[in-house]
Amino acid sequence: MSEYLPGLAGVPATKSNISDIDGENGVLYYRGYPIEQLAEHSSFEETTLLLLDGELPTADELEEFDQQLRKDRWVKYHIEELMKALPSTGHPMDMLQTAAASLAMFYPGNECLTGKDVCDDLNYVHNMTVKIIARMGTIVAMWEHLRNGYEPPAPRADLNYAENFLYMLNREEPDPLLARIMDVCLILHAEHTINASTFSTLVTGSTLASPYSVIAAAIGTLSGPLHGGANQRVLEMLNEIGSPDKAEAYVEQKLANKQVIWGMGHREYKTKDPRATILQGLVNELMAARGDAVNPLMDIALAVEKAAESRLAHKGVYANVDFYSGILYNEMGIPADQFTAIFAMARTAGWLAHWREQLGDNRIFRPTQVYTGEPPRDYVPIDRR
């Protein structure tokens, strides 16, 4: 009988050369480059092209890719009309999954996905990838206006990805520091090996479903609080605690009741998530730029992290990427329920890199199971039961 490992823990599901994690030392690599170097020196556009193609682009290659992204930011008015018909109280992730799936209706292009020896046309894969990534930021920003009853602003081709997103979200020219911080956040969230949503990408892609369906499936997976939805829960947790002096008792109570402390722990890391360290630095940088004004939530977060670390460090449980991203987005004036949608628009880069890799050597996923049901038996007519 096959060995059953809950959640496929530690079971290799694929081969990939896109990203890697050194969990013992808390290091994340994109195509061999440490995330700290990319966060400091790269851009979301360059990092995306690195993930897709495997190498840092030349200046001409990056310029061409950037221009493609800028050209494809607009969405047809049908998409906007569909979004207007959605309940304004709906969660942005539910909207995003709906809108992403609907793109296939208005931007068809699945003629390559027809059989076993398909999609060796890299132009097809590249073009579909660019169109999806370009429109994800537009859709997320549009929703903030549509759900409040306003027409969203049109995208601007004179701004980079992060700048355009903030412009569309806030309807004003973005502050350069906030735009750079957003760019770094997009880099940090772009890829992270075979997590739940990326595995969903592989499974859906292996059936030769359209890339829109692939992304819609990944968005649905990311929406759960045990995956991307945790960053919103962190903010809710900090507001619930209320003040730093209550953090220790809160952590004690959660541990005693065997409940989750949101933003703490990661299956891959046995030390602090390197993305959390970078995000914490960005919060401090933003606070310093605002005259060393301290966000009350930051003080609570530091107290929670200290209390949790003193009790859980011996188990390898430290702050993960979700712990500080919510605080940072909150300080940038972004609504809490949009946090995970921003995560999704960044992670689309990694998802589509894995989609491309999957198509390069495709085999449909068909795992087995350990059957725990009844032994073979005969049907009993209803009048004899």
Buried-state track 99-120, b at ≥16 Cβ within 10 A, e below 16 = bbbbbbeebeebebbeeeeebe
Percent of residues, the chain, with pLDDT higher than 70:
95
Q: How many domains does the chain have?
A: 2
Using the predicted structure, report yes or no on whether residue 112 has a pLDDT greater than 80.
Answer: no
Residues 75 and 193 grouped into a single domain: yes
Which one from 189, 192, 266, 354 is the annotated catalytic residue?
266
Residues 271 and 352 grouped into a single domain: no
Is 383 an active-site residue? Answer: no
Mean pLDDT of the chain: 91
Is 53 an active-site residue? Answer: no
Segments in 147-246 forming alpha helices (H): 161-170, 176-189, 196-206, 211-222, 230-241
Q: What is the pLDDT of residue 1?
A: 44
Q: Which of residues 319 and 348 earns the better pLDDT score?
A: 348
Which one from 72, 192, 322, 354 is the annotated catalytic residue?
322
The CATH code of the domain that includes 281 is 1.10.230.10
Q: What is the pLDDT of residue 122?
A: 63
**pLDDT (mean) for 121-149:** 91
Q: Residues near 14 by Cβ (< 8 Å), separated by ≥ 6?
A: 194, 202, 358
Residues 178 and 204 grouped into a single domain: yes
Question: Would 94 be classed as within a structural domain?
Answer: yes
User: Domain residues for 346?
Assistant: 16-223+338-360
Which tens digits make up the pLDDT trace of 152-186? 999 999 999 999 999 999 999 999 999 999 999 99
Residues 174 and 156 grouped into a single domain: yes
Question: Would 380 be classed as within a structural domain?
Answer: no
The CATH code of the domain that includes 202 is 1.10.580.10
pTM equals: 0.92
Question: Would 382 be classed as within a structural domain?
Answer: no
Question: Would 346 be classed as within a structural domain?
Answer: yes
Question: Would 375 be classed as within a structural domain?
Answer: no
**pLDDT (mean) for 19-47:** 96
Residues 59 and 206 grouped into a single domain: yes
Residues 235 and 202 grouped into a single domain: no
Question: Would 384 be classed as within a structural domain?
Answer: no
**pLDDT (mean) for 60-70:** 97
Question: Would 4 be classed as within a structural domain?
Answer: no
Residues 93 and 33 grouped into a single domain: yes
Question: Would 45 be classed as within a structural domain?
Answer: yes
Residues 77 and 202 grouped into a single domain: yes
Residues 325 and 293 grouped into a single domain: yes
pLDDT bracket for residue 287 (50, 70, 90):
confident
Using the predicted structure, report yes or no on whether residue 304 has a pLDDT greater than 80.
Answer: yes
Which tens digits make up the pLDDT trace of 218-275? 999 999 888 887 888 898 999 999 999 999 999 999 999 999 899 898 888 889 999 9
Residues 255 and 117 grouped into a single domain: no
Contact 323, 267 (CB under 8 A): no
Residues 352 and 321 grouped into a single domain: no
Q: What is the pLDDT of residue 322?
A: 87
Q: What is the pLDDT of residue 7?
A: 83
Using the predicted structure, report yes or no on whether residue 118 has a pLDDT greater than 60.
Answer: no
Residues 39 and 185 grouped into a single domain: yes
**pLDDT (mean) for 115-133:** 75
Q: What is the pLDDT of residue 109?
A: 66
